[in-house]
Structure 1
Amino acid sequence: MGSLTLIPHNAHRVDVDGLAMLMHVPTTSLFEMDEVSRSVYELFRRVGVADAEMLRAELGEQFAPDALADCLQSLISLDILRDSADPGKPLTVQKVEDIPLSTIILNVNTGCNLACTYCYKEDLTTPAKGEKMSFETARAAIDLLLVQAASRDKVNVVFFGGEPLSNMPLIRQVVDYTEARVAELGKAVDFTLTTNATLLTEDLADWFDAHRFGLTVSMDGPRALHDKNRKTVGGRGTYDVVAGKVRMLLARYRSRPVGVRVTLTAGVTDVLAIHDHMINDLGFAEVGFGPATSGPIAVFNLQPDMLKSVFEDMKTLGRRYVDAAIRGENIGFSNMHQLLSDIAKGMKKAVPCGAGLGLLAVDKDGDLHLCHRFVGSNQPTYGNVTTGIDVPKLATFVETAQDRSAFGCKTCRIRSICAGGCYHESYARQNDPFAPVYHYCDLLRDWVDFGIEAYTRIMRANPSFFRAHLQPRSAA
């Protein structure tokens, strides 16, 4: 054998309770290292390049030649070790020739009856000025979805706003139309909706239940925290109204678990207290936290010290999640659910999400956006529901997004999970959807390491947790 060199950006070691876990970065696959692989890997980490003579001198007395050869071959096959004369393969950009949609997001109204201080929506307005999507536009969007999803067995329709419940007549029409169309095609459909809950009624809750909607409520915690930012257009806090509506909904809703999305802002960062209130006082099935770092009003955004503190609190809650998982219990922390699902499946992302590929958002005029966050922004659109998707234009965006090596993503150890981060987060903060979310990078790397530790501990103590709780959630 010639000399071999370590490709450090293709492997990452995390030690967990005496185990040496190796993440294969290109695929996020996780391996437990034995004594041979640990010794070989650490030798290459120390020296960088080694040949057969050095390996024999350093490790020949500890391990049999066959064991060393098998280990080297495994690491070479994973491209963790490479012939030192081999420059490696250049980055391959997957060409985009079609847009195989699975999800369409309908922005059914620009109007909202709340005036949350951190809202990112650039087209948001008051209820009186709200511009509602017409049924003709929505129907064309569903037809476009079904054409682009011809090879899929299931499609997803998401209702967004503004406050989507302020255009319930349209939502009812779309559901009736879509259910009839998918039945004709032998497909299934999944409806989801995010709401501030203020307009919920018992009749609506029962109707959503009958159509098995996936519901998420936007709410920020106990009264003192929620009312800081989530106010009516007139400036009044909304906790009492929302909490009452949520209790009504959760008492009646049976078809699917209902989750809550919490936006963490300056002054609203008590992750542990918020989770406890949402799960134990209100009864939500899951709580997901979204730190605000690039909202339009900077005073509400989390600054670096706040963001670091939030991630530490999320890790504290994550440890409670792990302890509960080992007991076979699920405490409903959706950020941990997602992290562990990514690790369990072995992510290999070329782009950060399905925006522009499996998912597009439709505005009131039928124009197509990368996702719901871009509706109302100054970013380009990619066709219209009546004329179809501008495939060349969208393909150029997705192909460009696959290569962020100019920003340093090429050698990042979480590139197959993050892939550069949210397009909209980058656009809102840096006015460039391709620029990585640098303010998150170190924290996200630490969060993934924490996830590897959590995954390893749960797998050792109670592997059935994943089958009982994560797999059903992913399927839903």
Structure 2
Amino acid sequence: MSALTLIRHNAHRVDVDGYAMLMHPPTTSLFELDAVAQDVYDLFSETPAVDAEVLKARLGDRHSPDDLGECLQSFMALDILRDAEAAEIPRPIVKVEEIPLSTIILNVNTGCNLACTYCYKEDLTTPAKGQKMAFETARASFELLLKQAVDRDRVNVVFFGGEPLSNMPLIREVVAYATPRAREVGKTVDFSLTTNATLLTEEMVDWFNEHRFALTVSMDGPKALHDMNRKTVGGKGTYDLVSRKVRMLLSRYRARPVGVRVTLTRGVTDVIGIHDHLKNDLGFAEVGFGPATSGPIAVFNLDETALKRVFDDMMALGQRYVDAACRGENIGFSNMHQLLTDIAQGTKKQVPCGAGLGMLAVDLEGDLHLCHRFVGSDEPTYGNVDKGIDVPKLAAFIEKAQDRSAYGCKTCRIRSICAGGCYHESYSRQGDAFAPVYHYCDLMREWVDFGIESYVRIMRANPDFFRSQLEPRITRSGPAKEVLPQ
């Protein structure tokens, strides 16, 4: 054989409780290395180039030629090993010729009855000045969704704001139109909504229950923490009102589990205490955390030290998740659930999210944005619900987003999970939607390694947890046996 070399950015080893695990970054596939694969990997890790003589001298007395040859072929098939003289293989750019939408986000009102200090919305205003979306715009948005989702069985309409409940008449009108219209073309439509919960009534909750809305509440934990940032326009804390509405909601709503999203800001970082209050005291099904690092008012953003502490606390909560999963319990930590889903299913991202591909957001004028976060910003729009999507312009953005080679992403071990990070986070913090979220990079790599360790430990103790919770995709090719049996 000619001399081979290890392609380090295509292999990442993580040792877990005596098991040697190998993640394949291009596909996020996870393998358990057997004795042959461990020795071959270790040899290539410490030697720049290995030929047949070196392989025989170092490993010939430990493994048969057939076993070594089979392992080398497996590694080469995954591009973990490559001819030492071979040129670098550029990451392929997938051409975008159509936009197969599954989700449309309707920004139904720019008005909000709260004045949360960390809000990123650039078009936000008070309720009295709020501009509400007209039904004609919403209807045209849904028709565009149906047109672009021609090959999909299900579509999703998301109501966003401002506070979407402040335009409840439009929400009702859209549901009344979209449900039978989707049925006409052989599709099912799902509805989603994120709310601050202050305007909820029993009648609203019952109506949402009837139409099986996916509901998420924005709330930041116990009273002292929630009231630091989530205030009324007049400056009053909202915990007492929100917690009362939430208890009413959770006592009546049965259609689907209700989750809560927490924004972590400077001074609001007690991850475990917040989770325990929202999950155990109030009764939310899942709690998800979003650290604020690029909000419009810098004083509320997490600095490097606070962000590291947040990730440490998330891993501490993640360990509680693992311990519970091993017992067959789910403590409702959605960040951990998403991380393990990415690992179990072998997430392979070319771009960070579905923004611009499976999802677009619509503003009051019917203009199309990458996602709800960009509505009201100075970033370009990509067509209009009446005229249609500007496919060449949007395709150029998506194709450019796939190439992060100028930023170093192409050799990052979590590139298929992160893919550079949130466009809006980069735009807000660095003025460039394509720039990676560098302030997260090391922490995210550590978070993914923790996810790999957690995945292996749960699989060893209670594989049924994954089968019931995550339904993983199993990969059956590679240098060693897979983590999960079929």
Aligned counterpart, 1:235: 235
88-97 or 327-336: bigger deviation? 88-97
Whole-angstrom CA distance in 1 between matches of 2:61 and 2:333: 49
In structure 1, give the amino acid aligned to 2:255. S
Whole-angstrom CA distance in 1 between matches of 2:317 and 2:51: 46
1:91 is displaced (CA, Å) by: 2.0
SS in 2 for 1:289: strand
Whole-angstrom CA distance in 2 between matches of 1:3 and 1:387: 57
TM-score by length of 1: 0.99
Measured against aligned partners, the alpha-carbon deviations of 1:402-451 in whole angstroms (never above 9, x if no partner) come to 00010000100000000000000000000000000000000000000000
Whole-angstrom CA distance in 2 between matches of 1:91 and 1:180: 44
SS in 2 for 1:460: helix
1:84 is displaced (CA, Å) by: 1.1
Sequence identity percentage: 76
Aligned counterpart, 2:357: 357
CA contact (8 A) 2:344 2:470 kept: no
CA contact (8 A) 2:292 2:301 kept: yes
Aligned counterpart, 2:253: 253
1:471 is displaced (CA, Å) by: 4.1
Q: Does 1:13 align with 2:13?
A: yes
Q: How does 1:94-105 map to 2 (within 5 A)?
A: 94-105=94-105
Q: How does 1:112-191 map to 2 (within 5 A)?
A: 112-191=112-191
In structure 2, give the amino acid aligned to 1:185. V
Measured against aligned partners, the alpha-carbon deviations of 1:292-346 in whole angstroms (never above 9, x if no partner) come to 0000000000000000000000000000000000000000000000000000110
1:398 is displaced (CA, Å) by: 0.2
SS in 1 for 2:121: coil
Q: Which runs of 5+ in 1 are unaligned?
A: none
SS in 2 for 1:260: strand
SS in 1 for 2:97: coil
In structure 2, give the amino acid aligned to 1:173. E
Whole-angstrom CA distance in 1 between matches of 2:333 and 2:357: 28
SS in 2 for 1:27: coil
Aligned counterpart, 2:332: 332
323-332 or 82-91: bigger deviation? 82-91
Whole-angstrom CA distance in 1 between matches of 2:467 and 2:133: 41
Q: How does 1:394-473 map to 2 (within 5 A)?
A: 394-471=394-471
SS in 1 for 2:470: helix
Q: How does 1:22-171 map to 2 (within 5 A)?
A: 22-171=22-171
SS in 1 for 2:108: strand
1:166 is displaced (CA, Å) by: 0.2
Aligned counterpart, 2:221: 221
Q: CA RMSD in A?
A: 0.8
Aligned counterpart, 2:269: 269
1:352 is displaced (CA, Å) by: 0.3
Q: List structure 1 runs of 4+ shifted beyond 6 angstroms.
A: none
257-266 or 177-186: bigger deviation? 177-186
Whole-angstrom CA distance in 1 between matches of 2:56 and 2:284: 59
Whole-angstrom CA distance in 2 between matches of 1:66 and 1:88: 28
Whole-angstrom CA distance in 2 between matches of 1:386 and 1:331: 45
1:468 is displaced (CA, Å) by: 2.1
Q: Does 1:373 align with 2:364?
A: no
Say how many residue pairs are matched: 472
SS in 2 for 1:352: coil
Whole-angstrom CA distance in 2 between matches of 1:361 and 1:382: 10
183-192 or 107-116: bigger deviation? 183-192
1:48 is displaced (CA, Å) by: 2.1
TM-score by length of 2: 0.97
Whole-angstrom CA distance in 2 between matches of 1:117 and 1:263: 11
SS in 1 for 2:343: helix
Whole-angstrom CA distance in 2 between matches of 1:83 and 1:348: 25
CA contact (8 A) 2:293 2:303 kept: yes
Aligned counterpart, 2:203: 203
Whole-angstrom CA distance in 2 between matches of 1:69 and 1:88: 23
1:247 is displaced (CA, Å) by: 0.1
In structure 2, give the amino acid aligned to 1:45. S
Q: Which runs of 5+ in 2 are unaligned?
A: 473-486
Aligned counterpart, 2:483: none
CA contact (8 A) 2:197 2:245 kept: yes
